[in-house]
Amino acid sequence: MIKKILIGLLSILIVTFTIIYVLAQPKLENDGSYSPSSLALSLGTVAKTDFGEIKYTKYQGDKSKILVIFTEQKNLEMKNGKLFSTGNHPIESLVPMLHLKNAGFDFEIATPTGKPAVFEMWAFPNEDENVKAIYNEYKSSFQQPIKLTDFITHSFVNDSSFAAVFVPGGHGAMIGIPEDRNVAKVLNWAHENDLFTITLCHGPAALLSTTLDNQKFLYEGYKMAVFPDAIDEMTPMVGYLPGYMINSLSEKLKSLGAYIINTESDNTVFVDRKLITGASPLASNDLGKLAAETLLKELN
């Protein structure tokens, strides 16, 4: 009898682990990249965000524009050669934009070369009417953004209408953006003209661009919230990433003199001088509120 019970329990365990193994396998897409597994999606995505609409006293001044730099890249290579299907995280992009729009700001949408912005649509909160509304409102701009060189040519000369630069998160921010000299030019322009820079999760990878051509890291000594490398190291176990990442963002920023204030992928947000950062998708709503309130306080 005991033998039969043990055999039965063993069979249940085998079936359970088999199911978990299947659910934890990243999904192969048509272009050969991998999107997160069913298990990872159930653990790491939501159908509706925690966005809470706030009635801000809308900004009425001249500095009403925010440049948003989206990635146009989709596939991030892992150490094992597999490609992660990524882009801009929709919640990290759109929830902060909702707060800033409600506070009276509008957006100039840009990508490095003017190709369409790429979103991690597998993370889109399809039951969130507010997020869907702002996505649809700016959809044409996402599909036909300006290129950074055009922004630099035209807006650097007449920059009085801009209040901030926003770089959304998503692993796609680590593809090309850190090596883009035009991104570096924009961040230096924002810094020199006392504009705010807003970013979260993996978006701070853009800050690395300021070290190109042997330049000193623009944000040395700054405190910031960034997605932890330790969490990225764990996610392949549930099939979120199809392998381990080649580059470690938090450690790289720390090696350049930044102080990372969070250890978890939580809702931590922080302001240091004109840099506003958030730790993860969970920080999207709080980052939007903090950015909107900070800009209104500074500009009004």
Alpha-carbon span 141 to 159, nearest angstrom:
20
Structure confidence at residue 1 (pLDDT): 59
Of 213, 226, 123, 121, whose CA–CA distance to 167 is shortest? 226
- Does the pLDDT value for residue 16 go beyond 50? no
* Structure confidence at residue 3 as a pLDDT band (50, 70, 90): low
Lowest-pLDDT range, 1-10, 73-82, 105-114? 1-10
- Does the pLDDT value for residue 20 go beyond 80? no
* Structure confidence at residue 17 as a pLDDT band (50, 70, 90): very low
Tokens of 158: 């007449």
- Average pLDDT for 86-99: 98
The type of residue at 63 is: K
- Does the pLDDT value for residue 200 go beyond 50? yes
**Segment 226-277, tens digit of pLDDT:** 999 999 999 999 999 999 999 999 999 999 999 999 999 999 999 999 999 9
- Does the pLDDT value for residue 103 go beyond 70? yes
Higher-confidence residue of 297 and 9: namely 297
Tokens of 287: 């980052």
User: What Rg, from alpha-carbon coordinates, does the chain have?
Assistant: 21
Structure confidence at residue 4 (pLDDT): 54
Q: Is 144 helix (H, G, I), strand (E, B) or coil?
A: coil
Q: Which residue has the tokens 């820079």?
A: 197
Q: Is 288 helix (H, G, I), strand (E, B) or coil?
A: helix
- Average pLDDT for 79-87: 97
Alpha-carbon span 163 to 65, nearest angstrom:
6
Q: Which residue has the tokens 């934009």?
A: 97
Structure confidence at residue 188 (pLDDT): 97
- Does the pLDDT value for residue 216 go beyond 90? yes
Q: According to DSSP H, which parts of 37-163 are helical?
A: 38-44, 90-102, 129-137, 139-143, 148-155
**Segment 128-159, tens digit of pLDDT:** 999 999 999 999 999 999 999 999 998 777 67
**CATH classification of the domain holding 112:** 3.40.50.880
- Does the pLDDT value for residue 190 go beyond 60? yes
Of 190, 184, 175, 191, whose CA–CA distance to 213 is shortest? 184
Structure confidence at residue 15 (pLDDT): 40
For helices 148-155 and 181-192, the axis angle rounded to 10 degrees is 30
The whole domain housing 115 covers 2-299
Mean pLDDT rounded to a whole number for the chain: 92
**Segment 248-261, tens digit of pLDDT:** 999 999 999 999 99
Per residue, the 3-state secondary structure of 8-73, as one string, reads HHHHHHHHHHHHHHHHCCCEECCCCCEECCHHHHHHHCCCCCCCCCCCCCCCCCCCCEEEEECCCC
What percent of the chain clears pLDDT 70, i.e. is strictly above it?
Answer: 92
Structure confidence at residue 26 (pLDDT): 85
Structure confidence at residue 12 (pLDDT): 47
Active-site residues, by number, are 201
Tokens of 156: 């650097």
Tokens of 210: 């300021």
Of 166, 144, 183, 170, whose CA–CA distance to 74 is shortest? 170
Higher-confidence residue of 72 and 17: namely 72
Q: How many domains does the chain have?
A: 1
Tokens of 204: 């701070």
Higher-confidence residue of 26 and 198: namely 198
Q: Is 166 helix (H, G, I), strand (E, B) or coil?
A: strand
